[in-house]
Amino acid sequence: MALATVEQLESYLGTVITGPSAVASAELALDIASDAVEKYIGYPVEEVVDDVISVDGTRNYVFLLPAYPVTDIASITEDGIMLDTDEYEYSQFGIVKKLNGLWTNKLNGITITYTHGFTDVPMSIIGVVLALASRIKDGSSNIKQESMGSYSVTYANPSPVLQAAEVMVLDAFRILK
């Protein structure tokens, strides 16, 4: 699902997108841009409620969940035994700390049911999606070189590529592993 709407893209571009073909093109561009952003960040941006995952044990006091912000942990099962909520604590950044002892060292030894993601997608992420979608939708923004005498145009790679400034914005949302 797209992280931005056609209406937001219209506002960004300063134009009205009309007709079924143009709307479908805009929706596809937004879907592609949203997918590229989420792939770069490394997790779903929008809220996911009661996501069930298994992670490898760390044989340490802490482990890192693969998505953030973490808003709730419904349950943690370690080696098949459900832990009480007073046996661990967590941060919004996905750090889960065992309060007594170490986590198991078994592969897929910890199963977590948790809620993560943004209920309201940050505007900086939406801005990157809109910029990328506009470049996908409007091929003229892919001009890499243009000459006037004996007119010549060279087009850049038309694939959805994040620009350096956009990467810097998205880096604030990545989880470093």
* 105-134 confidence digits (pLDDT tens): 999 999 999 999 999 999 999 999 999 999
In a domain, 36, yes or no: yes
Q: Are residues 98 and 60 in the same domain?
A: yes
In a domain, 160, yes or no: yes
Q: What is the mean pLDDT of the chain?
A: 91
pLDDT of 137 reads: 86
Closest by CA position to 68, among listed 87, 96, 89 = 96
The number of distinct structural domains making up the chain is 2
Q: Are residues 100 and 150 in the same domain?
A: no
In a domain, 70, yes or no: yes
In a domain, 99, yes or no: yes
CA distance 5 to 133: 11
Q: Are residues 52 and 38 in the same domain?
A: no
15-47 confidence digits (pLDDT tens): 999 999 999 999 999 999 999 999 999 999 999
133-150 confidence digits (pLDDT tens): 999 987 645 555 666 676
Retrieve residue 132's tokens. Answer: 């990328």
Residues in the chain: 177
Q: Are residues 39 and 75 in the same domain?
A: no
In a domain, 88, yes or no: yes
- Give the mean model confidence (pLDDT) for residues 80-104: 97
Q: Are 145 and 151 in contact (CB under 8 A)?
A: no
pLDDT of 156 reads: 59
Q: Are residues 10 and 30 in the same domain?
A: yes
In a domain, 177, yes or no: no
CA distance 113 to 49: 9
pLDDT of 172 reads: 95
Q: How many CB atoms lie within 10 A of CB 167?
A: 13
Closest by CA position to 2, among listed 31, 40, 28 = 31
In a domain, 1, yes or no: no
Binned at pLDDT 50, 70 and 90, residue 50 comes out as very high
Residues 6+ apart with CB under 8 A from 83: 75, 76, 77
Q: Are residues 76 and 136 in the same domain?
A: no
Retrieve residue 76's tokens. Answer: 């943690």
In a domain, 176, yes or no: no
Give the domain extent around 145: 6-44+120-171
Q: Are residues 112 and 52 in the same domain?
A: yes
Is pLDDT at 157 greater than 60 in this prediction?
A: no
pLDDT of 177 reads: 61
122 prior amide bond cis, ω within 30: no
